[in-house]
Structure 1
Amino acid sequence: MGTTACRADRARLGKCWDILMGADLSVASPLLSILETVLYARDLVATEEFYRRVLGLQPIAVVPGRHVFFRCGEQMLLIFNPEATRHPPKPGALPVPPHGMEGEGHVCFRVTADDLDVWRSKLPELGVEIEADFEWPKGGHSIYFRDPAGNCLELAEARIWGIS
């Protein structure tokens, strides 16, 4: 990109440009962790049953036709019906902005190496096809499979990301 184009982009984007170009953000408070992960599914009944039966997660909040929420360790897995969350909230409701997604999402659940061996046997017994099962080049193993909505689910050792 030419110098003139860069200057024009910087003028147009302002602070966003600084962030994109690596400006010092040390004045911001550090992020502690990911609190929520969101997937989308139109058939929440089938999806809730799958996450209960196959993954052993228990729902902590359910609004039929809108969402089912699960706790997983210290994080939350939120599954929304995309049709129910695309519209602005109704008067009097919490002002959560509209959101939604088309297509399959992805989430990875952290497991130990020993537990991965158990899952490798358990998933087929529960009628769940393992789509991929492999060792990462720098260490750690992953197993991939799908939920009823087609979301890509992964079980993996944390060491695939250098986390112990």
Structure 2
Amino acid sequence: MQTPPPISGVLEAALYAEDLVAAEAFYAGSLGREVVLRLPGRHVFFRAGPTILLVFDPGATAKPSQNTRMPVPPHGAHGPGHVCFRASRAEITAWRAHFQAQDIPIDAEFDWPNGARSLYIRDPAGNSVEFAEPHLWS
């Protein structure tokens, strides 16, 4: 078997939400992420450090692309997804205070066996949104 080429990182990650207006209010408003691209009824994309967070309407992305120059294959998911943002322990503390001030419920907050801290909330579509110390995967 041939050795695969290296992967240098994740360029984009996708979540799905039927209510893109609520998703944008959450990610741009509550989380302060810059909107990179928006196509009403189909998607809204946000900058998250060096990664782009794609939020698609699952019904719209299940349909084949009508753009022959960009024939993106149909894709999508139904039900809650998950995304994890990198955050230091101090940043997680600040995020907790930020969420409490906005009355955003915290699903869980704990230390993993390796000592990394994680904090979980839900977006308006029910996706699990985690903030974790990078050494979680070291």
Deviations 1:90-149 (Å, cap 9, x if unpaired)? 153510000011100000000111111111111111121000000001111000000000
The answer for unaligned runs of 5 or more in structure 2 is: none
TM-score (norm 2): 0.96
Q: C-alpha distance in 2, partners of 1:140/1:130?
A: 17
After superposition, the Cα gap between the structure-2 partners of 1:122 and 1:91, relative to the gap in structure 1 and judged at 3 Å, is closer
Higher strand fraction: Structure 1 or Structure 2?
2
Q: CA RMSD in A?
A: 1.1
Which structure ranks higher in relative contact order (CA pairs < 8 Å, sequence separation ≥ 6)? 2
Q: Percent identity?
A: 46
The structure that has the greater radius of gyration is: 1
The answer for unaligned runs of 5 or more in structure 1 is: 1-23
Q: C-alpha distance in 2, partners of 1:132/1:121?
A: 14
Runs of 4+ in 1 over 2 A off after TM superposition: none
Size of the aligned set, in residue pairs, is 138
Deviation at 1:52, TM superposition (A): 1.3
After superposition, the Cα gap between the structure-2 partners of 1:93 and 1:45, relative to the gap in structure 1 and judged at 3 Å, is farther
Do 2:28 and 2:46's aligned partners in 1 also have CA atoms closer than 8 Å? no
| Structure 1 match to 2:117 | 141
- 1:25 aligned partner, one-letter code: Q
- 2:123 aligned partner, one-letter code: D
Higher helix fraction: Structure 1 or Structure 2?
1
Q: C-alpha distance in 1, partners of 2:47/2:2?
A: 31
